[in-house]
């Protein structure tokens, strides 16, 4: 398909369009080696097309020539063939030219379109900014729903080009968007709303419904329409689903409303995939991410000889036992193929014991398992490992990496007592903050462990008596991550302390990441360390960026020193004050705010931008805002002055001044999605909402899914009407 050296000079007579004018191929990202290029025919007659290239040995095109019906489009796949990292293949640009012909006169060139193809050596960081945090064997990055280390496969992301479907979805989306921008009940403080006709004022429930429908218009929905309208034998769909880049990693799970959902909610769509698509591509499938309602039927749809990674979401003990003891699976893929498992369990009573039983079931069946990760749909759901003394079945001779939450420190010690003889990577989130070694006498060296990451949301004690001796047993440790809040007696943990008590004691250590907040009671001490003193203690940490600051609280007579390597991978950020440093904290999910000085609105904007994925926020501050009135005067640019919490699930604002209730409930100051759980004082809420009649707080209150009221409370109809979607406790 070489590009001719001579093209007709009068060729380009009609304009034609492609989905992109440039394609970028990154040599370090195999997912970019195959890309979809859509060719559009906007005219009322059939045209023929032909794809040419200046470097035919470097690229291939799935359908280099064909026809496009009137007012339709065609998808073709451009694949990079030469993926070598040689200097001649880096940072080069080639050209693809698409020629269009009149079908009735096959030699007449009626239009053309040029597309540049650039081969780049690596993908820049900003390109992957929105990727979810993942879990790698040697790091402490958190697994999230967003958490799984897979992008949603393109098989699920291809959009239908059917004009009728596109038209219907576009009109529906436009209507929903229009409803959302219309005012609700006229705000007495807003004269602009009063000038809009009353019939254009939407109820809160109408806006909630419009927002929900708009959220459903995802690429997945469009794919289902693609199947329904075009059928499973569509040439365009077949080209896409048979591409090995797209079909090796299949994700049938989506995350919304704080939990995982099955994407194949339609039995019709499920049967189409199960009966017609999966059998054709089964040999190419390497990764599956499934939800229990469809897991068994999808796994039974075909034999998957190359499947080795499996993610199971919302799985309980009964479902796990049914899957792992299924005769076909237990003697096939689970026993002989699966090396990596990702498990998430729903939050239920006694779920900690469920995890132990699921683990025992997995270890007894999966003989090839090397990597096991337990996670949850959000950091609000603390599902951890809990047992008194583990059974013998809780062991594995093949497991290399384990990522799990444990309830008590003693359970962490059981995991390290030799029952996982080959374990080299252990990532643990500790739920209970009490450190004790009373029940376990094992003091042997842990020689195989190469990577150890420990985090805890709560303040821990006995750091020197319990935790440091455990770390010293890991004599061959190469990567260490400590993300802790520690009570100390008379001296903060600084760079000198970490060098003396951690780094110098581990001879094989080559990567040490940490986020340590030390707390100290202040009685009559003098010469308390300053921020500059703490920074000076890290003078030997030349190759790591260290951020540190110190806060002293006079009323509570306490001080805190926060030191961490940047970028921080800590999932928790506790007692954030006005000294909060600049930066981006992508892995933080759970934060608390506390200060004896007021938080102004600009502070909340900074927090929401620096911690974009926070799911849980608690606030304690009894000081009124100083610049509250000046904010009203300068609030001209509406969007730039709103603090946006796109992933927030739980909000605890019980112990605060009324100004901060306004901060979160005023829709002119704060934006968050639906399904928020909030804890708040009843009297304060009553005051701020003006006895549940205030319009400026009505929109955010309608997004609350559950509300816990403290103090003296009375349940009036006005309260229930003001929170139409909430369960009130």
Tell me the pLDDT tens digit for each residue of 434-466.
666 555 566 789 999 999 999 988 888 888 888
Range of the domain at 329: 244-432
Looking at the fold, whether 271 and 206 belong to one and the same domain comes out as: no
Q: For residue 515, is it within any domain?
A: no
Residues 585 and 634 in one domain: yes
CB 306 within 8 A of CB 281: no
Rounded Cα gap, residues 101 and 48, in angstroms: 5
pLDDT at 549: 94
Banded pLDDT at 650 (limits 50, 70, 90): very high
Average pLDDT (328-357) is 75
205/250 same-domain check: no
Distance CA 220, CA 662 (A): 37
Identify whether residues 585 and 666 lie together within a single domain.
yes
Q: How many domains in the chain?
A: 4
Instruction: State whether 88 and 205 are in the same domain.
Output: no
Residue 467 lies in a domain: no
* CATH number where 57 lies: 2.60.40.10
| Domain final residue, candidates 385, 405, 432 | 432
Does residue 248 sit in the same domain as residue 210?
Answer: no
Average pLDDT of span 18-27: 83
Token pair in block for residue 48: 């023929």
Does residue 136 fall inside a structural domain?
no
Q: Are residues 595 and 683 in the same domain?
A: yes
CA atoms within 13 A on the CB side of 86: 5
* Region 626-637 average pLDDT: 60
Domain final residue, candidates 408, 432, 456: 432
Average pLDDT score over the chain? 79
Per-position b or e across 589-620, b if 16+ CB within 10 A of its CB: bbbbbbbbebbbbebbbebbebbbbbbbbbbb
The reply to whether 269 falls in a domain is yes
Same domain? For 314 and 422 the reply is yes
Q: Identify the CA nearest to 101 among candidates 86, 88, 89, 112.
A: 112
Same domain membership, residue 713 and residue 661 = yes
Using a pLDDT cut of 70, give the percent of the chain over it: 75
398 in the same domain as 257: yes
Residue among 163, 70, 588 nearest 379 (CA):
588
Tell me the CATH number at 329: 3.80.10
Bridge partner list, 550: 561
CA distances from 620 to 195, 510, 632, 653 (A): 40, 39, 24, 7
Confidence of residue 652 (pLDDT cuts 50, 70, 90): very high
Q: State whether 121 and 194 are in the same domain.
A: no
Q: Which of 432, 449, 467 is the last residue of a domain?
A: 432
Name the residue with tokens 């309208």. Answer: 229
Is 234 part of any domain?
no
Residue 3 lies in a domain: no
Q: Mean per-residue pLDDT for 480-508?
A: 94
Residue 106 lies in a domain: yes
Instruction: Name every residue whose Cβ is closer than 8 Å to that of residue 29 and which is 6 or more positions away in sequence.
Output: 123
Question: Domain for residue 120, yes or no?
Answer: yes
Claim to verify: residue 345 and residue 382 sit in the same structural domain: yes
Query: What pLDDT shows up at residue 621?
Result: 96
261-267: average pLDDT? 67
Give the mean model confidence (pLDDT) for residues 125-149: 36
């Amino acid at each position: 398909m070489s590009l001719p050296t001579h093209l007709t000079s009068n060729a380009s007579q009609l304009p034609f369009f492609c989905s992109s004018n440039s394609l970028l191929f990154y040599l370090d990202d195999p997912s970019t080696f195959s890309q979809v290029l859509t060719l559009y025919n906007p005219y009322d007659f059939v045209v023929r097309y032909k794809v040419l290239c200046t470097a035919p040995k470097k690229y291939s095109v799935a359908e280099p020539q064909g026809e496009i019906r009137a007012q339709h489009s065609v998808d073709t796949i451009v694949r990079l063939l030469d993926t070598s990292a040689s200097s001649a293949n880096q940072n080069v640009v080639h050209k693809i030219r698409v020629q269009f012909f009149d079908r009735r006169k096959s030699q007449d060139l009626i239009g053309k379109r040029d597309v540049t193809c650039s081969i780049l050596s690596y993908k820049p960081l900003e390109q992957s900014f929105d990727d979810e945090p993942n879990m790698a064997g040697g790091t402490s990055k958190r697994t999230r729903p967003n958490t799984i280390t897979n992008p949603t496969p393109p098989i699920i992301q291809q959009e239908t080009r059917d004009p009728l479907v596109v038209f219907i979805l576009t009109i529906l989306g436009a209507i929903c968007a229009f409803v959302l921008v219309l005012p609700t009940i006229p705000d007495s403080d807003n004269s602009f709303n009063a000038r809009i006709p009353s019939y254009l004022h939407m109820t809160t429930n109408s806006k909630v419904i419009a927002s929900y429908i708009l959220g459903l218009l995802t690429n997945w929905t469009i794919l289902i329409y693609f199947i329904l309208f075009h059928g499973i034998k569509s040439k365009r769909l077949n080209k896409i689903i048979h591409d090995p880049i797209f079909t090796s990693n299949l994700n049938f799970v989506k995350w919304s409303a704080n939990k995982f959902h099955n994407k194949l909610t339609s039995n019709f769509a499920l049967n189409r995939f199960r009966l017609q698509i999966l059998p054709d591509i089964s040999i190419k499938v390497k990764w599956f991410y499934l939800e229990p309602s469809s897991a068994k039927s999808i796994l039974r749809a075909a034999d998957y000889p190359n499947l080795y990674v499996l993610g199971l979401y919302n799985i309980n003990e009964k479902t796990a036992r049914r899957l792992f003891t299924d005769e076909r699976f237990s003697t096939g893929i689970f026993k002989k193929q699966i090396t990596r498992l990702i498990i998430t369990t729903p939050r239920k009573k006694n779920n900690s014991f469920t995890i132990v039983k699921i683990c025992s079931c997995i270890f007894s069946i999966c003989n090839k398992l090397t990597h096991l990760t337990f996670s949850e749909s959000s950091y609000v759901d603390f599902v951890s490992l809990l047992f008194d003394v583990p059974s013998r079945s809780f062991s594995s001779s093949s497991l290399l990496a384990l990522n799990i939450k444990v309830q008590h420190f003693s359970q962490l010690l059981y995991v390290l007592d030799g029952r996982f003889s080959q374990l080299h990577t252990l990532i643990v989130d500790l739920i209970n903050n009490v450190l004790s070694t009373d029940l376990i006498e094992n003091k042997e060296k842990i020689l195989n462990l190469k990577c150890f990451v420990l985090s805890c949301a709560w303040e821990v004690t006995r750091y020197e008596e319990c935790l440091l001796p455990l770390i010293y047993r890991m004599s061959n440790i190469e990567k260490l991550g400590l993300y802790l809040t520690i009570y100390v007696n008379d001296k903060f943990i600084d760079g000198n302390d970490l060098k003396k008590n951690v780094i110098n004691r581990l001879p094989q250590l080559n990567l040490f990441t940490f986020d340590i907040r030390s707390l100290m009671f202040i009685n009559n001490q003098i010469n308390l360390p300053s921020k500059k003193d703490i920074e000076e203690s890290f003078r030997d940490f030349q190759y790591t960026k260290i951020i540190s600051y110190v806060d002293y609280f006079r009323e509570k007579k306490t001080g805190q020193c926060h030191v961490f390597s940047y970028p921080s991978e800590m999932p928790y950020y506790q007692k954030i004050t006005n000294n909060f440093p600049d930066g981006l904290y992508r892995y933080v999910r759970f934060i608390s705010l506390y200060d004896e000085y007021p938080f102004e609105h600009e502070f909340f904007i900074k927090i929401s931008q620096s911690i974009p994925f926070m799911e849980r926020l608690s606030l304690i501050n009894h000081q009124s805002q100083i610049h509250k009135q000046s904010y009203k005067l300068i609030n001209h640019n509406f969007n730039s002055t709103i603090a946006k919490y796109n992933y927030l699930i739980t909000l605890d604002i019980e112990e605060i001044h009324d100004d901060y209730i306004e901060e979160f409930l005023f829709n002119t100051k704060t934006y968050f999605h639906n399904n928020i759980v909030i804890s708040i004082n009843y009297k304060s809420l009553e005051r701020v909402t003006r006895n549940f009649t205030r319009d400026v707080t009505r929109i955010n209150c309608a997004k609350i899914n559950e509300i816990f009221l403290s103090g003296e409370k009375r349940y009036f109809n006005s309260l229930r009407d003001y929170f139409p979607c909430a369960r009130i406790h």
